[in-house]
Chains A and B, each alone.
Chain A
Amino acid sequence: MSDIVEKTLTALPGLFLQNQSASGPAAAKASFSSRLGGLVRGITALTSKHEEEKLIQQELSNLKATVSAPTTTLKMMKECMVRLIYCEMLGYDASFGYIHAIKLAQQGNLLEKRVGYLAVSLFLHESHELLLLLVNTVVKDLQSTNLVEVCMALTIVSQIFPREMIPAVLPLIEDKLQHSKEIIRRKAVLALYKFYLIAPNQVQHIHIKFRKALCDRDVGVMAASLHIYLRMIKENSSAYKDLTGSFVTILKQVVGGKLPVDFNYHSVPAPWLQIQLLRILGLLGKDDQRTSELMYDVLDESLRRAELNHNVTYAILFECVHTVYSIYPKSELLEKAAKCIGKFVLSPKINLKYLGLKALTYVIQQDPTLALQHQMTIIECLDHPDPIIKREVLGEYSYLLDKETPEEVITKLYKLLRSDSISSETKAWIIAAVTKLTPQAHSSNIVERLIQEFTTSLDTCLRQHAFELKHLHENVKFMKGLLPVDKSCEDMVVDASLSFLDGFVAEELSQGAAPYKPHHQRQEEKLSQEKVLSFEPYGLSFSSSGFSGRQSPAGISLGSDISGNSTETGLKETNSLKLEGIKKLWGKEGYLPKKESKTGDETEALPVPQENIIMENVDQIITKNDQSQALTQSKEEKEKQLLASSLFVGLGSESTINLLGKADTLSHKFRRKSKVKETKNGQTTTAQNMTCSSFSSSSNVAYEEDYYLDHLQDRGDKEVKKFSLNSELLDSESLTELPLVEKISNCRLSTPSLFADNNMEVFHPPQSTAASVANEVSLAVSLLEETTEHMHSDLIEVCNNETISVSSYKIWKDECLLMVWSVFNKSASELKSANLEIAPAENFKITEQPGCCLPVIEAESTKNFQYSVQMEKPFTEGNLSGFINYQVMDTHSVQLEFSVNLSLLDFIRPLKISTEDFGKLWLSFANDVKQNVKMSESQAALPSTLKALQQELRLHVVDIIGNEGLLACQLLPSIPCLLHFRVHGDMLALWFRSSCSTLPDYLLYQCQKVRAWIDPQVPVPIPCFHPGLTRAFKAECFVSVFLSSRCKKHGKSGGDLVSKDSESPGHLCIVYPKTQS
């Protein structure tokens, strides 16, 4: 019996499925529903973007097959759409499904139709051609008797609808304004509003209907119509003054609690409606005493009624205050509003504080005393962790000026600067503020003191600002012209898009320059094609021989960054100005028209006066100061020149002499900083190197930008800094001023990796001029220079053939191991598409260094490929293998393979700590290894042993106290290991401690190895292992220690390695010729 039951039960679902549709196998459908789940689970389990892409592409091809199959039912289609929506949301192209989405909206039942409409609204945009296919469906659904269908049609219309098809549905939607259901009326109103937005002239005739909607018996419909009125009143308030009374009445009713209870939100009557109405009133009452008088009562009521018990009442209150201050003032109301602002500013809730400060900025214009009341709070806010708050606060200071002399304000700011509790970021803003106040101050003692103090600041940003101030301060007259005393309190308008550069960029592009790619795009490309360098510009620049119209792509990317990425830059800029807005130059109205005329005619030289200065970029002003003709030149011209000069440096052969001069001055400073030694090379090489170095400094700009973008992302003042940095670097080409150059090198020093990269770059053999300079020289130079900077290994040839020879060497940089492969083209012809790839290795993280992708290797020249290697997990011996391929004469490609050995030692770096720190660290480490070794007389002296260790293993000798020596080192990235040596008679006690369990063991062997190497009397060490080690690790250690030490010592092959399985399997024993252990 139970068998039958079981069978019946198992058959049931299948029966249902067959019922549902005759077509398509049931099994396929059953699995269908879980597909989205599977997809989502699959995606969440993945770790890399690459895997995700693979999965989604596979999913998409499945979907593509399914949606186009004739057997696919609408129900299945619906499931497909949901999955497509998901894929699209993740950013993958699902355009093959668009047409099916429209079909689904046309043909499906309600549920399917809804998904179809949803997919359409998410996939398509307003001007998509497929949208026309939807019009008929929409018309049909608008006429449907089914409310849900009508709603769906109205929703899609308000989301996306082709402008030219509006007439087809307009009458239908107008009809819906009389629909019996309020939800339909409401949606119809919003749909009409959408039409008003995209095609205002098509809905002109229905303004009267909007009025009707405003008077609708349903509150929801009325609320919907307020969207329209807010917009229309914003555009032209005078046409709607007659409605003021209605709005006031509505607000009165709302505030008075006349609405049904279900409009309450947290017992506040229809808060969003109130906000909307208050905004409208604010617009209507602006500069209009008569209209304003109508609303005084209700505003008073609103202020009074808003009991502060919930977030949303603050929202109303904030709007109220805003309205009170926008309309024709009434002192009684202003007073109340001011009190409210106090509540905001003093609130512990950060959101309210922010809004309070925001309110203060516009309130102070009318009532500076209020700011004085809240001065303490404002100053406290300066220290707030939220940068957005700080930004608002600094704006307040400009208004304090009305009551206090600039000197007083500067003194206050100076006091703030001195206090340690403020972050350097804030300090930089404060200096910017001081800069703007300085021209108005009569005595400048404090400013001078400030300059003195902060030009030596360790913080680059701070120092930069201080220098700006210094230079401006030196030329007071100019400064006053630039930052006029006129106190218009509006935000300065900036040509955010830098449109004046558009022409320039277009020109560059037309000459074959690479288009600018925004930062994230570059990063993504880098990720997606891990092997191939994404910083193509660099490759290009090095390969372009001569001056064939190709400009430095790095420079281009700088240029087009400014204009090509205009929205982004523009935004930041405006922000930054808002926050810095201590002294504002011109109002919106005054400036904008000029901007337009400028964009149209960018080459025209305009007279310089204030209105022409687009950016408040003090650095540029410095440049101007220094160049006498600058004052008669337009800002745009100036910038173009700077850009152009930076672009052609290092490439233009005509300007070599000129370049040499500039570069030399620059290099001079560089030499001072980085202790570069230029000894061996002839004058030409030096000059060329310098050309390169100056070039790389301009290419560095791109890096700096990215760097700053990354690090200052939500700092409002970023743009200002970015710009000043850029221009500084650019200026450095033409300016020989010490401070500027110092700053540059400082910037570099502050970003060590960048510095190092560029350092390498500097010594690339120059392209543009005489490429015939001996390559060996340049290679030797690069080696030599690295030596002064970092330790490096010998140059070892790893592979060669008749055309090329590949050598490699290791540079033990502070933060990683830099592997350099030097490819020398021995042949007389150039090699194309040269590409060096390193296979991913298990234990390492290998990153290609930017700027070393060199598609072309010229005849008899050397190219360097650099990879920084980081260790991911400890190992003793590792192998990096890779290959190089290239093309000869565009015909056949050749591939050469090579490999390089790496050992853990390559990742050991000295740890420079003091004796006290050593003591502290010593106590904190748990892993401990001790060994006593017998010393021969020859090495009894501790210092010499330590010195050998220091040299061989790159340990840091912390201290030598009597017969004890302290050494410290670290395994990259940051695993410290401490060593204690003690000589006791003829015994040497070695004692290691580290936070890592394997490190002490390893180092012990390395130390013994070194000893064995320096003294043949010392037997090759037999490792005694930490119990926690794996057998494989021990074996590796053993072999490496033994073989390497003996080979090195005797210059012949080591002993035989025998595995003795007597006691413990895998135990190793060495049998070697002479000495025994």
Chain B
Amino acid sequence: MIKAILIFNNHGKPQLSKVYQPYSEDTQQQIIRETFHLVFKRDENVCNFLEGGLLIGGSDNKLIYRHYATLYFVFCVDSSESELGILDLIQVFVETLDKCFENVCELDLIFHVDKVHNILAEMVMGGMVLETNMNEIVTQIDAQNKLEKSEAGLAGAPARAVSAVKNMNLPEIPRNINIGDISIKVPNLPSFK
């Protein structure tokens, strides 16, 4: 079983923390700190496994981590998980993030923390590995987004118009705003002249 999944950057600032065990706030923070402490000082050329997260539940547990550019992905698991299996699971997770965010970077994780959690929820559910197939995960995420959109329907249109506007730089006011079913065509400037 997976006990916790942590992502932090090279400075030890957590970017995502998801625990699958009832830990108190303080304990969680301690886990993050100590995990970072343990992982951070390991060289690049040592193995990716560490035995026993200090707090996370005893000698039965191991930390499995990968370091990508500025981010550490750490999975804390118990003995029922395979080290190498988890190592590849991290890879799957990162590749999935990469697919969903198109060249994922640290900022994506912070700014879309809810999306990252949703992706994670499709992979790991309540500490159990739910899905390991990257395409399947992406499909699920897409399908959910689609459903949300269609459910939002007309009522949601203005909201999405706003978000469409927001996503552009305001100085270049949109020419073509596509709001789902009703699309408002803003006439091209030349035609006005």
Contact = CB atoms under 8 A, between A and B. Distances in A.
Nearest to B57: A567
6 contacts: A13-B162, A118-B114, A146-B151, A234-B80, A315-B84, A350-B46
Contacts of A319: 82
Nearest to B16: A89
B128 to A, nearest CB: 5
Centre residue among B32, B58, B89, B117 by max chain A CB count within 10 A:
B117
A696 to B, nearest CB: 29
A574 B113 CA distance: 37
B173 A10 contact: yes
A122 interface: yes
Contacts of B193: 1-2
B33 A714 contact: no
Interface in A98-148: 109-111, 114-115, 118, 122, 125-127, 146-148
Contacts of A109: 148, 151-152, 155-156
Contacts of B132: 265, 270-272
A230 interface: yes
A716 B59 CA distance: 11
B18 A353 contact: no
B27 to A, nearest CB: 10
Query: Main SS of the interface on chain A?
Result: helix
A10 B174 CA distance: 10
A36 interface: yes
B129 A16 contact: no
Interface string A157-193: 0111000000000000000000000010011001101
Contacts of B20: 159
Contact of A354 (B28, B34, B47, B59): B47
Contacts of B173: 9-10, 12-13
A645 to B, nearest CB: 30
Nearest to B184: A12
Given A109-B151, A311-B88, A351 B49 contact: yes
A713 interface: yes
B189 A5 contact: yes
B105 interface: no
Contacts of A183: 140
Contacts of B23: 125
B30 interface: yes
Interface string B44-85: 011111111011001100000000000000000000101111
A91 interface: yes
Given A190-B125, A575-B52, A224 B130 contact: yes
B85 A315 contact: yes
Interface in B7-38: 13-18, 20, 22-25, 28-30, 32-34, 37-38
Nearest to A11: B173
Contact of B159 (A20, A36, A187): A20
A875 B6 CA distance: 45
Contacts of B54: 567-568, 571-572
A20 B158 contact: yes
A91 B25 contact: yes
B159 to A, nearest CB: 6
B183 interface: no
A30 to B, nearest CB: 7
A40 B111 contact: yes
Contact of A574 (B59, B82, B131): B59
Nearest to A574: B59
B121 A155 contact: yes
Centre residue among B24, B92, B131 by max chain A CB count within 10 A:
B131
A272 B89 contact: yes
Contacts of A535: none
Contacts of A350: 45-47
Contact of A714 (B38, B58, B85, B148): B38
Given A13-B170, A82-B113, A575-B59, A312 B84 contact: yes
A842 interface: no
Contacts of A571: 52, 54, 58-59
Interface string A274-318: 010001000000000000000000000000000000011011001
Nearest to A579: B51
B148 A20 contact: no
Interface residues of A, number: 99
A388 B51 contact: yes
Interface string A1-21: 110110001101100110111
Interface in A202-241: 220, 224, 227, 230-231, 234
A571 B130 CA distance: 29
B50 A263 contact: no
A818 interface: no
Contact of A93 (B25, B32, B87): B25
B147 interface: yes
Contacts of B83: 315, 318, 351, 355
A29 B47 CA distance: 48
A5 B192 contact: yes
Given A91-B25, A125-B24, A311-B84, A714 B128 contact: no
B125 A187 contact: yes
Interface residues of B, number: 84
Nearest to A220: B131
Contacts of A159: 20, 125-126
A19 to B, nearest CB: 4
Contacts of B126: 155, 158-159, 190-191, 193-194
A854 interface: no
B159 A314 contact: no
A85 interface: yes
A230 B45 CA distance: 34
Contacts of B98: none
Given A88-B25, A315-B85, A315-B88, 17 more contacts: A20-B159, A109-B151, A125-B24, A148-B147, A154-B125, A155-B125, A158-B128, A186-B131, A263-B133, A275-B85, A311-B88, A312-B88, A350-B45, A354-B47, A386-B45, A496-B58, A496-B59
A308 to B, nearest CB: 12
Nearest to B86: A315
A351 B87 contact: yes
B117 A118 contact: yes
B32 to A, nearest CB: 8
B102 interface: no
Contacts of B151: 109-110, 146, 148
Given A17-B162, A125-B24, A385-B43, A272 B85 contact: yes
A407 B188 CA distance: 92
B39 to A, nearest CB: 9
Contacts of B140: 183
B94 interface: no
A571 B85 CA distance: 24
Contact of B51 (A5, A186, A575): A575
B84 A355 contact: yes
Contact of B41 (A19, A270, A713): A713
Interface in A670-718: 713-714, 716
Given A262-B136, A571-B54, A186 B130 contact: yes
Interface string B86-120: 01110010000000000000010011011001100
A110 B85 contact: no
Contacts of B13: 43-44, 90
Contacts of B29: 91
A1024 B92 CA distance: 67
Contacts of A125: 22-24
Centre residue among B22, B50, B85, B158 by max chain A CB count within 10 A:
B85
Given A13-B165, A146-B151, A148-B147, A385 B46 contact: yes
B85 A227 contact: no
A1034 interface: no
Interface string A26-37: 000110010011
A20 B55 CA distance: 48
Given A1-B192, A91-B25, A520 B43 contact: no
A578 interface: yes
